[in-house]
Chain A
Amino acid sequence: MEKIILDIKKISKSYGEITALDNFSISLKKGEVMGLLGPNGAGKTTLISILSGTVKDFSGAVTFKEKNLFSDRNLKNHMGIVPQDMAFYEDLNAFDNLMFWGGLYDISKSELKQRANELLELVGLSGRAKEPIKNFSGGMKRRLNVAIGMVHKPELLLLDEPTVGIDVQAKVTILDIIKNIAEKGTSVIFTTHQLAEVEETCSRIAIMDKGTILAQGTLEELIKIVGEKEMVDVAGQFSAGQIPAILKEIETDGVDILSVKDNLVNMAFDNTDKIPALMELLFKHNIPVSDLKIKSPNLEAVFLKLTGKSLRD
């Protein structure tokens, strides 16, 4: 069994009346890729800020490589971050950026130079290493952002929505890089709004909301939360309040409303036999239906069930 490299135990942090993290606990093994899913305001940024040392006055403990993360500054040499922002100097070129950001860590200049060149090759920017970054496309900048986070060969890499706003090709490159470094033993925490990316990349998934972990496990383990139900999405012209009232008119045993808002309801059915009755009822109430989807259980359904809202809300 692989050793636990990062162990976050019962971290709580409040800003006045607002609780950002509430008894938050996760652990990560060597070479594991954990997808951290949570809606906006779930507490992901606070977690990253605590790990970076820019937020104090919290309770709980963070152990990294079996040491208190905050007692030994040198431990930071083994951690890397890829922030959501393009956090680099646009007036410098890609190579100079890698040299600067890598220079902040305890790594020799010759090794850093070699590493910078390797990474530029890996992210497909070696041909444009000396070009000003301001000439780069969004995808190229994202790839550089990822490369900077890895320049000092961290054992733990935090990626905060690394694929926001980029084309499919760049996205595939970044996800491949994540899988590749995990295979070589780097542990990764990966936050995103793209459920498909998590399903494809992560060996373990944690769903968080309001500062706490609602569930964590492998994809299969999480899907068991919604059971063997069929996912049914109905789109039409109705208000959020209408659907629960209508459903009372039919046998609702085995029907879960996962989330409902104006014009869209996500439900879980034990079996699909009840769907015709539902449709009949909607027509009876003169509710036009524009779309009906029946899906197998997936991460989205789990997320909806646990948080009551879609990931982008």
Chain B
Amino acid sequence: MRRILLIFKNDVKRRLKSPYVVLVLLLIPVIMTGIIGAVFAPSGDQAKLPKIKVLVVDKDKNIGSKFLLGTFDSPDLKEMFQVTLVDETEGKRLISKGKASALIVIPEKFSDRLIKAEKSEIMVIKNPAQQFLPAVVEEFMVTFSVIISGIVQVFEPELKAVGSLIDTPIEQVSIASMTPFLEQDKTKIISLKNYLSPLLIQLKKEVTGKKKKEPGLNIFSFVLPGMSIMFLLFIIEIFLRDILTEREDGKLRRIMFSPIRTREFIFARIISGWMMGILVYLVIVLLGVLLFNISWGNYLYLFVFVAVTCFWIAGFFALLNAFFKNKNQAGALTSPIILVFSAFGGSIIPVNQLPGAFHWVSDFTLNRWFIKGVEQIGSGSFPTLPFGVVFLSGMILFLLAEKFLKKRIIV
């Protein structure tokens, strides 16, 4: 045990004297997570949509179109939409040049048709160059149409009566003839009042202090585990490659000339890679909290799971190094292996985005189980299945590595 600790301490000392490779490999996943997160999860002012430019052609110029334009003028919608009145030719020219998100054309006699409860069409021309903003305008107009249609249907007789009064000379309009409609309206409004005031469904907006981010809502917490496991594989591989380097440059013979046992040396190398991996991942966890406000969930679970994962990686590369001829071969072959693991295991793209035929492959990658495990820890539960899979396969790798490395060291 003393010699194992000595080798581990020596490795730590060496890495601290020449930390650059590990440092770079440690920072890459953090930087990549930052970039990916910044692209897909804008925050602060960037979260606000830009004002949606809407062009309106008002051919009606009556009560109906004014109601619609008035709606756009309400404080909330004014924040959202920038409405410009144009004639039809100018409107089509501007929308074809992409100067607005949508062009709304209110047809002639729109108000008359509403009052007569006749069908009417409002045309929405969307800017094809944009996807999201024109869809917002379309949805708004659909909602507006539903509301107006509802109102028209409820007050259809009254509107018809009002419509007939519009064409009647003012001197022939008697208050007495209007009284029945007003009474009817009063009854309808009173009965609707229960539904309209207060509204059955109300939108409650509340901002209280600093926004608490849940793990599932933080894009970084999705990206960092995948990225970090990929680079953790690279980092621990570098530590384990010492086995080959020491064999090639004569250090192994010198070590074996001492009273150290072969098994002790193999354990020392695997344990050293394992411990260094844990230390590196603790830094990644810390950076995740400090830079990306990631809530990792239960930190004890996380530590245990990271420890077993690093053990798996150390055993895996120790085993591979038992078969590699030299460090150059190891360098050439381990990178593709790690990249395949990462591609199929969800480090580069989420597994559910892969073609279905490849899903079963991902179950054979450490990356897949690690990401799954970290997700479960983030949601508050212990990752029993991922832990079991990684632990058992890690033990098998460790035992195989010990057996084959021993054969490689003593010929």
Contacts and interface: CB of A to CB of B under 8 A. Distances in A.
Contacts of B256: 52-54
Contacts of A76: 257-259
Interface in B254-268: 254-262
Contacts of A91: 14, 17-18
Given A73-B261, A103-B6, A104-B260, A54 B17 contact: no
Residue of B3, B258, B261 with highest tally of chain A CB at under 10 A: B258
A38 interface: no
Contacts of A148: 254
A237 to B, nearest CB: 42
Contacts of B6: 100, 103-104
Interface stretch (B87-95, B245-253, B350-358): B245-253
Interface stretch (A82-90, A199-207, A238-246): A82-90
Contacts of B10: 89, 92, 96, 100
Interface residues on B, range: 20 to 34
A134 to B, nearest CB: 9
B259 A77 contact: yes
Contact of A96 (B13, B249, B262, B411): B13
A202 B147 CA distance: 109
Nearest to B253: A52
Interface string A37-56: 00000000000110111111
B254 A101 contact: yes
B384 to A, nearest CB: 41
Interface in A26-73: 48-49, 51-56, 73
Given A54-B411, A56-B411, A104-B260, A48 B13 contact: no
A55 B411 contact: yes
B409 interface: yes
B410 interface: yes
Interface residues on A, range: 20 to 34
A49 B252 CA distance: 11
Given A54-B409, A96-B13, A88 B253 contact: no
Residue of A86, A96, A104 with highest tally of chain B CB at under 10 A: A104
B392 to A, nearest CB: 32
Given A54-B410, A103-B6, 20 more contacts: A53-B256, A53-B410, A54-B411, A55-B411, A73-B261, A76-B259, A85-B250, A86-B250, A87-B251, A87-B253, A87-B254, A89-B251, A91-B14, A92-B10, A92-B13, A92-B14, A101-B254, A104-B258, A104-B259, A148-B254
Interface of B: 3, 6, 10, 13-14, 17-18, 249-262, 409-411
Interface of A: 48-49, 51-56, 73-74, 76-77, 79-81, 83-89, 91-92, 96, 100-101, 103-106, 132, 148
13 contacts: A52-B256, A53-B262, A54-B256, A55-B411, A76-B258, A79-B257, A85-B249, A89-B14, A91-B14, A96-B13, A103-B3, A104-B258, A104-B260
